[in-house]
């Protein structure tokens, strides 16, 4: 994920809860319709067995399609399971530790909300990508959003690839497409009756 092309790539984020059997099939259909650079296993549970089973099941889907699989926050589990890397939700605080544990070839990503400073700190600490979001107003968390002008600035000044995620719609995707390397899409499609069709409608905005 370090060599991002000019055209933004798809970065899929799993739901926080899922039925493994049906979700694996759905994920396979989505990836067959829309090739992705990466899938993030982002379950809410901290049950190690549940996470391990989910990782093993989804890895069969992603490996068959040469798509990277990272797990949210659990660096040691990523190492034990041999996953492609980890996505950290604490900005730059754990990046150096994750890099030390996982080695130079693993993917280490960092979620930095709407903070340029945190994003730069994560990049300096060795993150392969920085994720910013949500991109539209929300009543969740502290209400902070990642502004379009921050993506513009980042694309002009910083070489570390960035991911736009959270509250995406077609209009925001169209606006941010020239300024971001990846779109992190998850809740926007998984709750729909046909996730493939939902993603097709969103992704058409990339142009």
SS (H, E, C) 135-194: CCCCCCCCCCCCCHHHHHHHHHHCCCCEEEECCCCHHHHHHHCCCCCEEEECHHHHCCCC
Q: For residue range 39-62, what is the model confidence (pLDDT) as tens digits? A: 999 999 999 999 999 999 999 999
The pLDDT of residue 6 is above 90: no
pLDDT at site 39: 98
Q: Which domains does the chain have, with CATH numbers?
A: 9-201 (3.20.20.70)
The residue behind tokens 């039925």 is 19
pTM: 0.95
pLDDT at site 207: 76
Q: For residue range 81-134, what is the model confidence (pLDDT) as tens digits? A: 999 999 999 999 999 999 999 999 999 999 999 999 999 999 999 999 999 999
pLDDT at site 140: 57
The pLDDT of residue 5 is above 50: no
| Average pLDDT along the chain | 94
Q: For residue range 126-167, what is the model confidence (pLDDT) as tens digits? A: 999 999 999 987 655 566 799 999 999 999 999 999 999 999
Q: For residue range 168-186, what is the model confidence (pLDDT) as tens digits? A: 999 999 999 999 999 999 9
């Amino acid at each position: 994920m370090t060599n991002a092309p000019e055209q933004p790539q798809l970065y899929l984020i799993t739901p926080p809860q899922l039925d493994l059997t049906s979700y694996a099939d759905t994920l396979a259909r989505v990836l067959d319709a829309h090739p992705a650079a990466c899938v993030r296993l982002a379950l809410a549970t901290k049950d190690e067995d549940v996470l391990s089973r989910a990782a093993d099941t989804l890895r069969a889907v992603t490996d068959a399609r040469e798509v990277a699989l990272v797990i949210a926050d659990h660096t040691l589990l990523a190492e034990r399971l041999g996953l492609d890397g980890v996505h950290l939700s604490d900005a730059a605080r754990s990046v150096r530790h994750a890099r030390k544990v996982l080695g130079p070839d693993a993917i280490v990503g960092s979620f930095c909300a709407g903070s340029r400073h945190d994003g730069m700190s994560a990049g300096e600490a060795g993150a392969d990508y920085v994720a910013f979001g949500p991109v539209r107003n929300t009543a969740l968390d502290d209400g902070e959003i990642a502004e379009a002008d921050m993506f513009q600035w980042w694309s002009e000044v910083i070489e570390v690839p960035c991911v736009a995620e959270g509250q995406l719609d077609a209009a925001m995707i169209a606006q941010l497409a020239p300024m971001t390397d990846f779109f992190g899409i998850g809740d926007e499609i998984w709750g729909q009756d046909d996730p493939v069709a939902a993603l097709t409608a969103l992704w058409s905005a990339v142009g």
